[in-house]
Amino acid sequence: MAENPDNKIDEEIERLTGMVRDEAILAQQDRIQKEVEDSNALVSERLPLLILKEEYQSDPIYSKKIEDMNASFPYIRKTRGDGNCFFRAFGFAYMEKLLSDKAELHRFKEIIEKSKDTLISLGCPSFTLMDFHDTFMEVVNQLEEKPSLSELVATYCDQGMSDYLVVYLRLLTSLELQKEAEFYQNFVEGNRTVKEFCSQEVEPMYKESDHIHIIALTSYLGVGVRVVYLDRGENQKVNHHDFPEGMPPQIALLYRPGHYDVLYGD
């Protein structure tokens, strides 16, 4: 039986329509991403926490929690919501602390210097790793040689430099997860190995972070972080959790659904 030419035409129309639709979706995603980039700096200036009430003025629960949180953390530094916000917020907050803590800076510098060889031993290509490691060390050395908050802000607001720092923090997180794979395997969802989880959910840019990322990075670096939650938790109280367990917090981050910012106490 001869093939109906009308069927071929219908199939071609459907294929072309699908292509147009896919291109339109990608174009829309690009426009949204551009709008996010144009309206949000990678790292903002230090701002009063109560400015968040403007975002939640019609939400009495969140507004009350922001007021309660203001008693302990009256200032915030926002980060861009691009999937890298945890690593960017953590990296900036900790490096800001290092500007005035030389002993902690020296300890951190030693960890970063040694991490390159450990990453290579885990299979990270040395020719790729060198650029990220060298850039990260360049920023760390700058903290020691010419400590400047304004320069640190400028570094984190420079897309290229800032993303290099995020990449290396992601690699350090992957390093810890793989080094202690037997422990972390218990937290990996789905039928995946820790190595597969790292390649899919940790190392790629723009992948959002969960508790397992925070535990791994803070454990590897030995940096205490308090995460304060702006959510609809029980009793309408502001809850927090310290990572890793048992370590006094050195910096504080604010978590609201899907996003992290830097918090400052009095």
- 88 with 201, same domain: the answer is yes
Q: Do 134 and 3 share a structural domain? A: no
Task: Evaluate whether 226 touches 249 at the Cβ level (below 8 Å).
Answer: yes
* Average pLDDT for 56-67: 93
Whether 64 and 185 map to the same domain: the answer is yes
Looking at the structure, do residues 20 and 117 belong to the same domain, yes or no?
no
d(CA 230, CA 238): 7
Q: For all residues of the chain together, what is the average pLDDT?
A: 90
Q: Is 242 among the catalytic positions?
A: no
Query: Kindly report the CA angle at 152 between 147 and 157, in degrees rounded to 5?
Result: 170
Q: Which of 163, 198, 213, 259 is catalytic?
A: 259
Residue from 6, 82, 124, 210 carrying the catalytic annotation: 82
Q: Report which DSSP code applies to 202.
A: I
Averaged over 254-262, what is the pLDDT?
96
Tell me the three state secondary structure of residue 45: strand
Q: CA-CA distance, 122 to 22, in Å (whole number)?
A: 38
Its pTM stands at 0.85
Q: Based on the domain organization, do 156 and 30 belong to the same domain? A: no
Alpha helix positions (H), 99-231: 102-121, 126-145, 149-157, 159-179, 181-184, 194-197, 211-221
Residues 185 and 173 in one domain: yes
Same domain, yes or no, for 99 and 139? Answer: yes
Q: Residue 237: which pLDDT band, with cuts at 50, 70 and 90?
A: confident
Most confident of 9-23, 33-47, 74-88: 74-88
- The CA-CA-CA angle for residues 30, 35, 37, to 5°, reads 95
In 3D, which of 174, 188, 167, 165 has the Cα closest to residue 122? 174
261 and 51 in contact (C-beta within 8 Å)? no
Q: Which of 85, 133, 163, 213 is catalytic?
A: 85
* Tens-digit pLDDT profile for residues 10-28: 776 777 777 666 666 555 5
Q: What is the pLDDT of residues 84-141, one digit of tens each?
A: 999 999 999 999 999 999 999 999 999 999 999 999 999 999 988 999 999 999 999 9
Domain of residue 220: give its range.
43-264
Residue 1 pLDDT > 60: no
- Angle CA(154)–CA(93)–CA(43) in degrees, nearest 5? 40
124 and 7 within one domain? no
Say whether both 61 and 184 belong to one domain: yes
pLDDT tens per residue across span 155-185: 999 999 999 999 999 999 999 999 999 999 9
Active site residue 82: yes
- 259 an active-site residue? yes
Q: How many structural domains comprise the chain?
A: 2
**Is there a single domain that holds both residue 1 and residue 90?**
no
Statement to judge: residues 53 and 20 lie in one domain: no
Considering the domain architecture, whether residues 215 and 92 belong to the same structural domain is answered as yes
Largest CA distance in the chain: 84
The domain that holds 205 is classified in CATH as 1.20.1300.20
Position 74 scores a pLDDT of: 98
Would you say residue 31 has pLDDT above 50?
no
How many angstroms separate the CA atoms of 149 and 99, rounded?
A: 8
Q: Is the dihedral of CA 212, 233, 91, 98 positive or negative?
A: negative
